[in-house]
Chains A and B, each alone.
Chain A
């Protein structure tokens, strides 16, 4: 398989940071009570991943092996600081909601894991794509989980979209269930754990189905081969 397609597949599905590596669970579980919160944190994480992967890949031959981890952390921390200050300036309300989880992106294990496992030993182009795809995979899970919890918890989707898209988005809130009483558990931390568990289970079911289909396609060939 061509290396770029391989990287895309790894990040989005096969090695998805949230569903397979189960990294960065703390922000994943904490902020996904609405779609918009999930999307906001997801975009910040994508930016961090792409920038840190790119810079670390560029510097990979200059960084001495013995001190590489502190160097990675410093690079990641600088990038997160830039993103935090920018969000404070341009998306101030969203910044207030996401709060401590923006600076905490520094400690998101999936970022240092990509730096160590991929960017430190691959060329810049591959590393940038890897950062983007891992970030997108992570963000997709944030959005799906945020959507599930928002829908079950308060019966809406895209509530408070104006925090992110400005005043045009004030009416974007989709109220899918009128007069909904609210289902508090989905918005509380247990709802995040149960929701993530269900998504991981769903991914595993799909994977099992896919392998089954592949083997069932291969089998008839094997049978005809053996019957000769």
Chain B
């Protein structure tokens, strides 16, 4: 009689990469639906384009590196990277922006470092930062929320804008794009307008930017689901959000004229997607428990510093990459003590 040799741990493949990545994708669904609701179907076109390009780039690099294609392509990591970039860039970006960002993320930031598990930097954020540094104009003009737009972009117009740079009708690009709430907040604070007045403009909702606050809340709910399913640990998001909340709270207590409220910072820009989906990347983030707290707090602090004093409206991507660089140092100093070891 042939017996299967079964050895512990007796788990049903709980730690498989594919399973984790599918959970991550699932957790992003509500927020993506919210994005489509607020910014139109262009978001979905971007996601589809990014997925196709990301998978093709992954296959090409695996071929060049003579690695088996099927196990790596089905692990879903390239799909997660592609979708993160697609939701981070403005919805009506020209197609080549998506292609350049995703290809750079997969080819340079991931595969050239050795593929999944070896990349020191978060690939999606490297792709995003490349675009932000190289094409600042395209990357900082967002659609207004569809309820504020004079004529919302339908599927056909979005498709034309993304792939041909024009709608075919008499639309002008300037009438469909504008600054994000974070950008507007920063510019107007620079003109010495008090934040409490700025927040009453129609670009803003009950706490953050109109629409953006709901996208952030849905990302947070998706993130809490990931914590509940043990895909990510609570340390990074909690440390990051706490650091961002405390520093913006202190600033708005002592210098209310230079910052939006702490709640505004929590539900604006990429805060929640950054806290739950980007900073929690298991590969490029810290691996020790204490280290994750330090890493998260660092991301939160740097995000706030870049938002207030930096040259760009949002700072999540730069903060994550800067802290990625610190990870070896953080891990070195936060090694857990071996049980029973005497110092």
Spell out A's residues near B (CB within 8 Å). Answer: 181, 183-185, 188, 194
Contacts and interface: CB of A to CB of B under 8 A. Distances in A.
Interface stretch (B3-11, B127-135, B335-343): B127-135
Contacts of B108: 194
B188 to A, nearest CB: 27
Contact of B135 (A181, A188, A194): A181
Contacts of A194: 108
A76 B81 CA distance: 51
A190 to B, nearest CB: 8
A184 B100 CA distance: 13
Contacts of A184: 133-135
| Interface residues of B, dominant DSSP | helix
A181 B133 CA distance: 13
Contacts of A188: 133
User: Of residues B100, B133, B134, B135, which shows the largest number of chain A Cβ atoms within 10 Å of its Cβ?
Assistant: B134
A112 to B, nearest CB: 32
11 contacts: A181-B135, A183-B100, A183-B134, A184-B133, A184-B134, A184-B135, A185-B130, A185-B133, A185-B134, A188-B133, A194-B108
Contacts of B130: 185
A185 B127 CA distance: 12
A183 B100 CA distance: 10
Nearest to A197: B112
A216 B153 CA distance: 61
Contacts of B133: 184-185, 188
A6 B18 CA distance: 54
A184 B133 CA distance: 7
B200 to A, nearest CB: 37
Contacts of A183: 100, 134
Nearest to A191: B134
Interface string B204-233: 000000000000000000000000000000
A189 to B, nearest CB: 11
A194 B109 CA distance: 11
A207 to B, nearest CB: 17
A194 B133 CA distance: 15
Contacts of B134: 183-185
